[in-house]
A and B are shown apart, each in its own frame.
Chain A
Amino acid sequence: MKTLFAFIRRLFLRPSARIGLGVLVTGGFIAGVAAWAGFNKAMEATNHERFCISCHTMHDNLLPELQKTVHWNNRTGVRARCPDCHVPHAFTDKVARKMQASREVWGHLVGTIGTREKFKEHRIVLAQREWARFAANGSKECRACHDYKDMDFERMRPTSQVAMRNAATRNQSCVDCHKGIAHQLPDMKGAHNPAFDTLVSAAAGQRVEVGTAYFTVVPQDIFADEALSTRIGALEVAAKVKVLETKGDAQQVELALWRKNKGYGRVWYGHFGLNITSAVLDKAIARDDKFVTVLESKEDPLTGLEWQQVAAKAWIRKGSLIDSVEPIWTIARASYSTSCSVCHRQPDEAHFDANTWPGLFGGMVGFTSMDGDTAKVVLKYLQTHSSDFSTTQHGAGAPDATLQTARP
């Protein structure tokens, strides 16, 4: 090993005794030019759509999808090709992306995404990787053609104007909203609402400090151990937890919540007397003194039930917390106002109290096409913006406390 090192050292540092310096320099230059040309050639070749669609994964899956969109074919004949969107235009970024791309080539060679089914299953991974890249660079490639500064907002449809002006003020990344603009959206596995992906990617990049409170962005399991092997329950979306420590892929969190002292007492709520679910524990653990500490007990005067303030420590998978609950409510609010005005005027959030919302919402949600997760988030949004939390003068069961023009 030592001799090899010495040899290399000699080779590079000792002047040549046999070949003239001019020959060496010229030879080196020619070799350099050749290598650069070859590199550029390769860069260029791999930057052609021909190359992109030469593998059947792209050709069979992504090309036909793109061909149906305006980015392939439009009135004025302007066309976006694969690299226009998916390869950075600046040199160093481009090289970096090319190196990452070797992973996709590998995937192609070993057949991770070899069939349409496998591709569809794996697509969420590919998409999230690409969405994260767009989120990080502010959708730079989109903006090579569509930049805010060149947009004539006046000529947009009125609804688009509202959205686009807001986005421009925040200099928002295009793909935050325009996911699936050129390809089909991946199957979101129950969370069909693509809006949640923004949250998931935000949580992935969230810096977490010990001793601080955060909110869960998606429903998730909780575990007794840091190896995440013994499941003991689940947290709902927008549940508030305090982070105690991070170990590898796991994070220990503290739950400080309320429960009804009836049955197993395994549904835990965020506030005394309000049925806003934060966690559901397994039956076996909910009454286990070693796990659950009861801090306080008092009767809810509206039902006569005893409520207990409870605390527990549990482990969750890292990367699913964010520091503000507002982005979750933004998604929920949009979903509520669209889905719930198809048949009737949607009542103001603060026109019911937190414990009335589940009954009304449960009676009507069947008429919407919300998926299960979205429905849960919307209900939680309504409850946390209900008259119990509102600072306006609406009382519980205010005039809107029945659905307006609901049905017959």
Chain B
Amino acid sequence: MSYSRRGFLKAMTLLSGSALVAPSLLVPRRAGAAAAGGGAAATDDITTWKITGSHFGAIRAKVVGDRVVDIRPFEHDKYPTEMIKGIIGLIYGPSRVRYPMVRLDWYRKRHLSDTSQRGDNRFVRVGWDEALDLFYGELERIQREHGPWALHTGGVGWRSVGQVHSCGNHMVRAVGMHGRSVGTAGDYSTGAGQTILPYVLGSTEVYSQGTSWEVILRESKLIVFWANDPIKNLQVGWNTETHEAYAYYAQLKQKIADKSIRVICLDPVKSKTLNYLGAEHQYVNPMTDVPLMLAIAHTLVKEKLHDQKFLDSYTLGFDRFLPYLEGRGEDGVEKTPEWAAAICGVPADRIRELARLLAQNRSQLIFGWAIQRQQHGEQPYWMGAVLAAMLGQIGLPGGGISYAHHYSSVGVSSSGAAMPGAFPLNLDPGRKPKHDNTDYKGYGAVIPIARVIDALLEPGKEIDFNGNKVKLAPYRMAIFSGCNQWHRQPQRNRMKEAWKKLETVVAIDYNWTATCRFADIVLPACTPYERNDLDAYGSYSNRGIIAMHKLIDPLFHSRTDFDIFRALTRRFNRDQEYSRGLDEMQWVEKLYEDCRKENGLKDIAMPPFAEFWKKGYVLFPEGKPWVRHADFRDDAEVNALGTPSGFIEIFSRKIERYGYADCRGHPVWMEKVERSHGGPGSDRHPLWLQSVHPDKRLHSQLCESEPLRDTYAIQGREPVFISPQDAAARGIKHGDLVRVFNDRGQLLAGANVSDNFPPGVVRIQEGAWFGPTGPDIGALDTYGDPNTLTLDIGTSRLAQATSANTCLVQVEKFAGSAPAVTSFGGPVEVDPEGRKVDQS
């Protein structure tokens, strides 16, 4: 290696040293000095502390007497997030799943239980052997009596980090060794985006590495963050997050200040990013980005600002889109700035100005994910790509379009090092499940993930999905591991109704989420801080490998996912096959050594395992700056895109042939079932509810951590952000308890009156734990889970993704005595007769 590690670290320190001006991002490095009294052994030199990884960054932990007493950011993390302050509260919080528990009526009557009692939170404690016997017995019953269509294994999503203990791999492998099941397709974050973009730009894009920040900072003159809040979202990463991207945002802030780069945040709301950077704000009405984009495109054509040469060489179908734009299409409406202004709330002249700005500068468009989580969510992403193609800057340094710069430090170039593999998710080659049955009785073997409730309420319904038909399997048993289904799926009361149809639900988790509350068998997993593992450091930068030292022994009767599922497979005598005869530390060492071998072939040196484990990390040098789509621009034939034609498809004949009314051959503006600011339904429920990714959580992870929750909750409830105008009109003051409601549900929240929000827009961050007053449909949610109110419809026949951001509500000041928050603190433990067990 021509680059010494020391030199690299020095460079990294220098780079970020210049950028330590971001106070709101920083946890005071010496804040909260060690809370522990004793602990003579532990020193204050954090490099001697144990190290581990998390979605929120790598951390050092001071452990005294098998108790975590202090958590500090990893010494190489220059922009740590305050979320790590929530970790101790997560480990020692009152919501821990302490013992295997079985829902009372299920304990009595098994799969014939009264399922309308789900949610009453009454559970009987059982031993591990009994719990696993019950779990295994149900798997046997389902496979023998019904077959694979009757078992659903929930898509996992944001498990905890760690390549050995990744919970989805354990569930899928162990359950898969027993028999097949109905899985899921897509995910809740980017369902519409990842489906539409392969047709248009030839790749899912949403999880792709983007143009390197040093290139953007050098070449871009205008950056548009379109419905995007990277400063909020970059706090977390899919693997252990490095927070390296923040250094570039600090530089960007400087460049805005000295006017060398213009940044426009295009968003109904003044985002955290806007406020941090001091960027310009461009307001737009919610869900009307497509009319705005169409009008910009219209201006580009009218003023001949579009790049016809680029369109001819690199795209197909502009000629079939143009008539729609110019009013010569079916609808006969010309997409003029005046037409758009009436819908999107941006003045026509300002739209023209935006078009000119984009065309006359080297412009980088950076889209967030929120606008594809709405009805017709495919359209804004497709239209964004069309706009970028018309500007002709795709593949140029600092130009074109990105859909991922807010995610896991995308834009920090990759070191090129190989990252560790994972505990196998599949059965080993040649092995068959115990019940080797592939007969799904005509039902689909997967369900588009956001349609899993439809499958229960409309059993056997045949739906369109991405050019195909799927017959929804009316599954009878569901398993969720490390996944809070009762946070991410919209429309709680609809879920409650659907859940009545399920005979058996198994949940495996470390804290008592709503998914556990609505389950029948709950198994206590330990937290990632109670097991040995390793993780990639930097999901895209491949910055290094982090040792995940077990900080403390698993609390209560909790176990690792590995132990739980190994014990399950022992029940059908395949535990040796499951574990390959290796234990936890042997797996950690194997994954490390396999990775070391692979990097050895690339001449990237890694120390032997023992040395790595002692030191706690390996870091790799920075990679080379890179420009997305540059290879395509350089040679569109050889480096063809993954679209049907190999070119950017402004018009997709393939989609046109599906014949979907809600997703046509080119991007189209379509009215939503409900829309604020004069749209349908806004007379009854005038406020648009946006349920964005939270600022101080990772989805629903960390919501249960009391010390962290105390920093943002209002009267113990999740905040609802509301404009001063809307608050005043309803007699609401900052800090008031309010009821937020629509025809789908109701919740209690604490009013956070903020002038970051325009009239007609309220925000409740997703991931707030659901805490209904009882199991009955329509019960008030006592904490403020926005999915109590959201709408459960597919984005379109194409992606069938979540439309959670298409949601109107009303807010009123709460009168009367507020019910206690029921979301946290675990179950009510009862004996088999239903008598409450005194836990003291």
**Residues of A that sit less than 8 Å from B by CB:** 157-159, 162-163, 166, 184-185, 187-188, 192, 260, 262-267, 275, 280, 300-305, 334, 337-338, 341-346, 355-364, 366-367, 369, 395-408
Among B184, B647, B654, point to the contact of A302 (Cβ < 8 A).
Answer: B654
The interface residues of chain A lying within 8 Å CB-to-CB of B204 are 359-360, 363-364, 403, 406
Among A158, A188, A338, A400, point to the contact of B580 (Cβ < 8 A).
Answer: A158
List 6 interface pairs A-B (beta carbons < 8 Å), by A numbering: A264-B637, A302-B657, A304-B645, A363-B205, A401-B195, A407-B238
Among B316, B429, B444, point to the contact of A305 (Cβ < 8 A).
Answer: B316
Of all A-B residue pairs in the complex, the 3 with the closest CB atoms, nearest first, are A359-B642, A358-B642, A359-B198
B89 at the interface (CB under 8 A from A): no
Known: A263-B637, A396-B467. Contact between A303 and B653, CB under 8 A?
A: yes
Closest beta carbon of chain B to A282's beta carbon, Å: 11
Among B316, B470, B576, B638, point to the contact of A266 (Cβ < 8 A).
Answer: B638
The interface residues of chain A lying within 8 Å CB-to-CB of B168 are 344, 405
Among B157, B414, B470, B640, point to the contact of A408 (Cβ < 8 A).
Answer: B157
Known: A302-B654, A359-B198. Contact between A408 and B189, CB under 8 A?
A: yes
On whether the beta carbons of A407 and B187 are closer than 8 Å, the reply is yes
The interface residues of chain B lying within 8 Å CB-to-CB of A402 are 185-186, 191, 194-195, 448, 466, 799
B422 at the interface (CB under 8 A from A): yes
The interface residues of chain B lying within 8 Å CB-to-CB of A185 are 601
Number of residue pairs across A and B with beta carbons under 8 Å?
207
B300 at the interface (CB under 8 A from A): no
On whether the beta carbons of A303 and B316 are closer than 8 Å, the reply is yes
- In the bound assembly, the distance between CA atoms of A334 and B641 in angstroms comes to 26
Closest B residue, CB atoms, query A401: B466
On whether the beta carbons of B465 and A358 are closer than 8 Å, the reply is no
Among A158, A303, A356, A404, point to the contact of B645 (Cβ < 8 A).
Answer: A303
New contact pairs (4) apart from A163-B429, A341-B424, CB-CB < 8 Å: A337-B429, A359-B199, A399-B465, A400-B446
The interface residues of chain B lying within 8 Å CB-to-CB of A357 are 642
Which DSSP category, helix, strand, loop or mixed, fits chain B's interface? loop
B646 at the interface (CB under 8 A from A): yes
On whether the beta carbons of B425 and A341 are closer than 8 Å, the reply is yes
**Residues of B that sit less than 8 Å from A by CB:** 155-158, 163, 168-169, 172, 183-191, 194-195, 197-199, 201-209, 238, 313, 316-317, 414, 418-419, 421-422, 424-426, 428-431, 444-448, 465-468, 470, 539-540, 574, 576-577, 580-581, 595, 598, 600-602, 636-638, 640-647, 649, 653-654, 657, 699, 799
Known: A345-B425, A362-B202. Contact between A403 and B642, CB under 8 A?
A: no
On whether the beta carbons of B190 and A401 are closer than 8 Å, the reply is no
Closest beta carbon of chain B to A24's beta carbon, Å: 64
Closest B residue, CB atoms, query A166: B430
Closest beta carbon of chain A to B613's beta carbon, Å: 19
- In the bound assembly, the distance between CA atoms of A345 and B169 in angstroms comes to 9
On whether the beta carbons of A187 and B422 are closer than 8 Å, the reply is no
On whether the beta carbons of B468 and A397 are closer than 8 Å, the reply is yes
On whether the beta carbons of B203 and A401 are closer than 8 Å, the reply is no
- In the bound assembly, the distance between CA atoms of A407 and B581 in angstroms comes to 29
On whether the beta carbons of B430 and A302 are closer than 8 Å, the reply is no
On whether the beta carbons of A404 and B184 are closer than 8 Å, the reply is yes
On whether the beta carbons of A366 and B426 are closer than 8 Å, the reply is no
The interface residues of chain B lying within 8 Å CB-to-CB of A266 are 637-638
On whether the beta carbons of B601 and A188 are closer than 8 Å, the reply is yes
On whether the beta carbons of B581 and A157 are closer than 8 Å, the reply is yes
- In the bound assembly, the distance between CA atoms of A362 and B203 in angstroms comes to 6
On whether the beta carbons of A399 and B446 are closer than 8 Å, the reply is yes
The interface residues of chain A lying within 8 Å CB-to-CB of B445 are 399-400
Closest beta carbon of chain A to B265's beta carbon, Å: 22
On whether the beta carbons of A369 and B598 are closer than 8 Å, the reply is yes
On whether the beta carbons of A400 and B185 are closer than 8 Å, the reply is yes
Among B155, B238, B418, point to the contact of A405 (Cβ < 8 A).
Answer: B155
On whether the beta carbons of B188 and A397 are closer than 8 Å, the reply is no
The interface residues of chain A lying within 8 Å CB-to-CB of B598 are 192, 369
- In the bound assembly, the distance between CA atoms of A360 and B194 in angstroms comes to 9
The interface residues of chain A lying within 8 Å CB-to-CB of B430 are 162, 166
Closest beta carbon of chain A to B460's beta carbon, Å: 15
Closest beta carbon of chain B to A375's beta carbon, Å: 13
The interface residues of chain A lying within 8 Å CB-to-CB of B414 are 366
Closest beta carbon of chain B to A272's beta carbon, Å: 13
On whether the beta carbons of B466 and A280 are closer than 8 Å, the reply is no
- In the bound assembly, the distance between CA atoms of A397 and B429 in angstroms comes to 26
On whether the beta carbons of B172 and A403 are closer than 8 Å, the reply is no
The interface residues of chain A lying within 8 Å CB-to-CB of B186 are 402-404, 406
On whether the beta carbons of A361 and B209 are closer than 8 Å, the reply is no
Q: Quick one: which of A300, A334, A403, A405 has the most chain B CB within 10 A?
A: A405
On whether the beta carbons of A369 and B194 are closer than 8 Å, the reply is no
Q: Quick one: which of B414, B466, B580 has the most chain A CB within 10 A?
A: B466
The interface residues of chain B lying within 8 Å CB-to-CB of A158 are 428, 431, 574, 576-577, 580-581
- In the bound assembly, the distance between CA atoms of A405 and B171 in angstroms comes to 13
Closest B residue, CB atoms, query A160: B580
Among B190, B209, B447, B580, point to the contact of A157 (Cβ < 8 A).
Answer: B580
Closest A residue, CB atoms, query B471: A399
The interface residues of chain B lying within 8 Å CB-to-CB of A356 are 198, 642, 644
Known: A159-B580, A303-B316. Contact between A401 and B208, CB under 8 A?
A: no
Closest B residue, CB atoms, query A408: B189
Known: A363-B207, A369-B418, A405-B155. Contact between A275 and B576, CB under 8 A?
A: no
Closest beta carbon of chain A to B90's beta carbon, Å: 19
On whether the beta carbons of B653 and A401 are closer than 8 Å, the reply is no
The interface residues of chain B lying within 8 Å CB-to-CB of A188 are 601
On whether the beta carbons of B429 and A364 are closer than 8 Å, the reply is no
- In the bound assembly, the distance between CA atoms of A303 and B653 in angstroms comes to 6
The interface residues of chain B lying within 8 Å CB-to-CB of A404 are 155, 183-186, 446
